[in-house]
Amino acid sequence: MFTKNSNIALNLTRQQRRETYHRLYYQFLKHAFGLRYSGTELAERIGLRINMDQLPSNREQNRQFKSFVLKLNENSDFKAAGIFLREDQIAEVSSHDHDLLQCLDIVIGAIAFRLNDKHKEKPSDESRRGKKTIAKEALYRHVNSRIRSIYPGFNIGITTGRKGPASVWTDPYRHWLFTPRDRRIDPDRHKP
């Protein structure tokens, strides 16, 4: 999931602006994985464990956010899919302590690196790009080629298509551009 800085959300209250990160994260958890399509035919309920990056707010705001995530238990789609959450299964973790999350951070970083045109940057005193820049671009190209094997014609700047509502659960890769409904485009931040 990613956003474009050129999309400026309109008509948000002060509280909504203050809670932007948590609200976006909540929408991501609720929609991005297609959990509501995960298998309603199962006889038993499925408990989720959510390992989130350490949240950027204070302890109380983060506690409130986690309690809000727990309310997904009341969501009719989650109930129908047999999905449930327990408070002790919603955790903040440091990706540096988890190899898989560290790898994910690196891959997401390479994609963000490309989305933000960082692959073109050169140190001010150099005529060539740095080794890290070249390595990040190489990783991005590898990831992009793998995604293109699933989605020929993949465009990094837009949401991947769907084959139907349940495909958000079955697709091996999803790329989601989160766009506010009520927005204006800032031309100074807009990439052609």
Q: Mean pLDDT of residues grouped by 10 in the chain (192 residues)?
A: 84 90 89 82 79 88 92 91 92 90 88 81 79 88 92 88 84 86 86 67
| Angle value at C-alpha 182, between 1 and 174, nearest 5 degrees | 20
- Return the pLDDT at 69: 94
Report the Cα 149 to chain-centroid distance in Å: 21
Q: For residue 31, give its domain range.
A: 1-93
Count CB-CB contacts under 10 A for residue 181. 7
- The model carries a pTM of 0.78
Residue 149 lies in a domain: no
Q: Report if residue 68 sits inside a domain.
A: yes
pLDDT at 41: 61
Sign of the CA dihedral 172, 177, 178, 179? negative
Tell me phi and psi for residue 51, to 5 degrees: -105, 105
> Does residue 87 lie in a domain region?
yes
Give the total number of structural domains in the chain. 1
- Rounded CA separation 11/168 (Å): 29
Confirm whether 162 is domain-assigned. no
Residue 148 belongs to a domain? no
In a domain, 108, yes or no: no
Residue 34 lies in a domain: yes
Domain assignment present for residue 51? The answer is yes
